[in-house]
A and B are shown apart, each in its own frame.
Chain A
């Protein structure tokens, strides 16, 4: 009740905002001028652009749209109205950044039209459907121009309010779709539309798995009390000097070997200068100019994250891997007009892995990061705790005409903290670039941030200033020397050949083994590998009894187990179900001892922590599958007898309703067997009974 009231208020509030913002854009002031009153196409375009730029209500509507779809899928998220109100405030704050919204809105328009991807390039889509485009052009003349012209009078707004939310949404969305298509009208754009391709290069900052910092003895554990893990050096207390952590070098070298890099000795550390409150020394110590590893490569399977289309092999080159320090964290309190600094992270060891711009889109970027995480976790050189900032991705994005070898002007999205974020941010940027190019707007070489809440990139401050980092060799660290020659007996340097021998089985090798051993498809293997725990279950279950059907086991793991864990709101990696219990349960299902319903019931029990063997549970509860056709037939008959209306409706209706009624009858029939029925059999019987009667 309250919530609804609140929502209505909010809506009113929104439309007020809308009226405030729409009114000033009124055209009539200009249309008094005779020359201006003739609205040329380009003038309309201009106006529409302005429209988009200043339009707030539409923005919120599109958010509602995307939100609802999210909530349908995962009901565990907080209540929509609250969330929305929070976002509204955010939006008001970010109004000055509205230029970028232009793109986002048009992209969400497309979401409305197609359920596929909100990150598909909208213009391309429109182009691919010429019939719609024609319609669009016509309707622009009829409806939209008038609408814009009249927007000074309050009439259309009143209408909007009266028609209610849904209408507003539709109108707005349609309007914006028209607008996005309008932008395509110029000839060269239409010619150009399919020809852009994204060029993506990633830089990954992975925190090295070590107890102490790169140049000091302070603890690196995440989540300590604020400023409790700060050595004098980390606070840049005068006179302190860096001392390189040998363990970090080892981990870095191991990673470089796994990523097929050339390893250099010596390599150097530099100071990279910039002033920031959470960079106490005023410079970062980094190997950026003379890294210990270069020229690596990484092969990974790429696939469309959304559709999980067939995967393909992709090879990306690695420019370099460098050791460097992390900075601290600033916490800004705008209300108190103050900033606070936490130096626990300052000086944490990072390896920055710089990939060449060999990728084309967000899918490839996300798959690359996924593979990299697998490798780093296998090596144990990085815990890859993304939510703790243990692995952060910078994406350099540009676009160029397809086939061109020249790179376009790039923008850099900094500090993306999730695989999903990489995927979305990269595609967002590619689309933004394409949009800008089409609109003949200049793309600036700038640094942007990924706002996961708003699903968009936003420019970071100081974008105009290109920083000169005034690199200088770090005079307090001798060159980093590694032992490259195995025969060099006496040296106590980090020993590269011996690390090479310690290299564990890498995911790619592991995958190939699995493919061969269990005859799975690569896509199945990839999916199992997304959650390492699934892979572990798979292997132990298969090793326990190699006669088991690997594809059935993998499906049960990927679909049923994951769903059960999800229902129990457990992170997959925290699952502590014993593989033996799981395999027992799977066997019970596969050999027909129990049906799927009981299977799920026991799976939930296991997820909840039961240690009782499934066979025992089944025995105790008498949950055996009922295959006896007479019993099944009996329950079906009972069901039919007690639900004449349902049966009637089933017989007289078609398609959906028919199906619905059948399901209802089926459910009841199953209930009669205490959910133990052989599902396939009971379905057959019920169908037969219904259709013969």
Chain B
């Protein structure tokens, strides 16, 4: 049984057309960098043929998927929203993309992000910021027959850095989207856009073809409206990959959400350090509400302590910048990417190409990273940061060893900020506030999911985050699936859903 049949539309061609229509309707939100209209339509025809012959490649055969523009798609421009790669056409498919193609899905377009995924707002893109659909002029209808967006005409950030992917899913421009998550880049925009954002365990999904930000924390993320859709995509893209030596060789069991989960055997942990003074009362309220929901359902809920939580951001900023400095070294303008006109010398060519090709955020991080990696600073910053990272990971291990199955926290401290407010802050301040709750999971490598719970008084989505022990992705998705059924978040009715 393919999901297409379960959805409103009979054929994947119709679904694809609808998504393409939707993409043109939301052009003002700037979610897509590249739309692969013709390719997707052609593939949809093939897919319909397969499905009609009873031969679908997978249960998501024929469904349109949007890919964050830091994943390589063969013969498609892959920009990372940077001038450096503005004209870079990838010669190969990322493993995630290849697996999705092999499963019969249609790559419908490449979505906007912060330059090289360095941000939490999808604002630092050479293609301009992506705007949140919530609070925008886009008209629509919400599940439960309430009108959508009639009273607001504000510009909120979509969150980031996978903002384009989140908006694509929220507006029904794609069935699911692939994002990347290094410090919360999938969960943060999912929370702001009212969709599910899942960061699998590190090493469960191949990073081959994901243009790296921080290799040791990057994980391809999945965005969809429903947990079951996330699970379908996850089942396709997870697993070992010869091209990524850091993928775990153990095959993870396929996620099956039909299995009923007995909540009485689940222990939920509430880490007290996640109570940030900057947290908005509404978020706190939602958090406490869901805690009670779990208790009512029979789960035991415990308060736990993870004392190094607040160190995560500063640790991350060092490790991230070091790896950024290193990863960005390949952009010299010699083999690919932006190349300046200077012909004075090779060094000059490299220096000028990099100066012109990178935005200020990227340049700053490269500078800082190289500073941290200097021989005289290495022990002082990089090594220390690695030690703190170990402490943060140990916090998680302690919690798991105490019998906690799921950690329940907010995803973000507030609902989506206004773009105008957000732009007043520098990149560092933006990230440190946005990534507060999401970052530690990347340090530990554990799976984490952001689930839309309800709307705020302003009508903006509020999401909560759940985390579980490394490689217990199926359990996490099952619990999220249960919670989703309890909260019934009012999705925007449009597109494929």
Contacts and interface: CB of A to CB of B under 8 A. Distances in A.
A242 B328 CA distance: 16
B349 to A, nearest CB: 9
A277 interface: yes
A337 B214 CA distance: 37
A283 interface: yes
B329 A241 contact: no
List the 9 shortest-distance A-B pairs measured between CB atoms, nearest first: A282-B329, A475-B215, A470-B373, A236-B330, A475-B216, A238-B211, A239-B209, A239-B211, A281-B330
A241 B373 contact: no
Interface stretch (B15-23, B133-141, B238-246): B238-246
B199 interface: no
A244 interface: yes
A149 to B, nearest CB: 44
28 contacts: A235-B336, A236-B330, A236-B335, A238-B212, A239-B72, A240-B209, A243-B242, A243-B243, A271-B326, A273-B373, A275-B332, A277-B334, A280-B332, A281-B330, A282-B328, A283-B326, A339-B346, A341-B335, A470-B373, A470-B375, A470-B378, A472-B373, A472-B382, A475-B246, A475-B323, A476-B215, A476-B245, A476-B246
Contacts of A271: 326
B374 A468 contact: yes
Interface in B204-227: 207-212, 214-216
Interface string A233-273: 00111111111100000000000000000000000000101
B85 interface: yes
A127 interface: no
A235 B71 contact: no
Contacts of B72: 238-239
Given A275-B347, A339-B346, A476-B215, A241 B332 contact: no
A471 interface: yes
Contacts of A282: 326, 328-330, 332
A449 interface: no
Given A281-B329, A470-B370, A472-B382, A232 B91 contact: yes
B325 A240 contact: no
Most chain A CB neighbours (cut-off 10 Å) among B94, B211, B346, B375: B346
Contacts of A276: 346
A339 B347 CA distance: 12
A271 to B, nearest CB: 6
A160 interface: no
B476 interface: no
Given A243-B242, A471-B378, A475-B323, 17 more contacts: A236-B330, A238-B72, A238-B80, A239-B211, A243-B244, A273-B373, A277-B332, A282-B326, A282-B332, A341-B335, A468-B374, A470-B375, A472-B326, A475-B214, A476-B244, A476-B245, A478-B245
Contacts of B246: 241, 475-478
A239 B323 contact: no
B326 A273 contact: yes
Interface residues of A, number: 31
B331 to A, nearest CB: 8
Interface of B is mostly: loop
A243 B245 contact: yes
A241 B336 CA distance: 17
B350 interface: yes
Interface string B292-333: 000000000000000000000000000000110110111010
B470 interface: no
B482 interface: no
A477 B145 CA distance: 52
Given A273-B326, A470-B374, A280 B78 contact: no
B92 interface: yes
Nearest to B347: A275
Interface string A434-477: 00000000000000000000000000000000001011100111
B326 to A, nearest CB: 5
B210 A239 contact: yes
Given A243-B243, A281-B330, A472 B346 contact: no
B208 to A, nearest CB: 5
Contacts of B422: none
B343 interface: yes
Contacts of A477: 245-246
Most chain B CB neighbours (cut-off 10 Å) among A236, A237, A271, A337: A237
A500 B210 CA distance: 40
A498 B243 CA distance: 28
B9 interface: no
Contacts of B347: 275
Contacts of B78: 238
Contacts of A244: 245
Interface string B78-95: 101000010010111010
Interface string B237-259: 00000111110000000000000
Interface in B173-215: 207-212, 214-215
A241 B243 contact: yes
Contacts of A241: 207-208, 243-246
A471 B369 CA distance: 12
Contacts of A281: 329-330
A239 B245 CA distance: 13
A256 to B, nearest CB: 22
Interface in B430-453: none
B336 A240 contact: no
A234 to B, nearest CB: 10
Most chain B CB neighbours (cut-off 10 Å) among A241, A275, A280, A471: A241
Contacts of A472: 322-323, 326, 373, 382
B91 A280 contact: no
A276 B345 CA distance: 11
A471 B382 CA distance: 10
A238 B330 contact: yes
A428 B492 CA distance: 79
A240 B244 CA distance: 8
A277 B346 contact: yes
A580 B451 CA distance: 83
Contacts of A475: 214-216, 246, 323
Contacts of B215: 475-476
B212 A239 contact: yes
Contacts of B243: 240-241, 243
A232 B346 CA distance: 22
A336 to B, nearest CB: 11
A655 B140 CA distance: 118
Nearest to B325: A470
Nearest to B218: A475
A238 B245 contact: no
Most chain A CB neighbours (cut-off 10 Å) among B71, B85, B329: B329
Nearest to A230: B335
Most chain A CB neighbours (cut-off 10 Å) among B211, B373, B378: B373
A482 to B, nearest CB: 16
B88 A280 contact: no
A237 B336 contact: yes
A332 to B, nearest CB: 9
A470 B322 CA distance: 9
A476 B247 CA distance: 10
B316 to A, nearest CB: 14
Nearest to B351: A275
Most chain B CB neighbours (cut-off 10 Å) among A236, A470, A477: A470
Interface in A202-239: 232, 235-239
A280 B335 contact: yes
B92 A273 contact: no
Interface in A38-88: none
Most chain A CB neighbours (cut-off 10 Å) among B78, B243, B322: B243
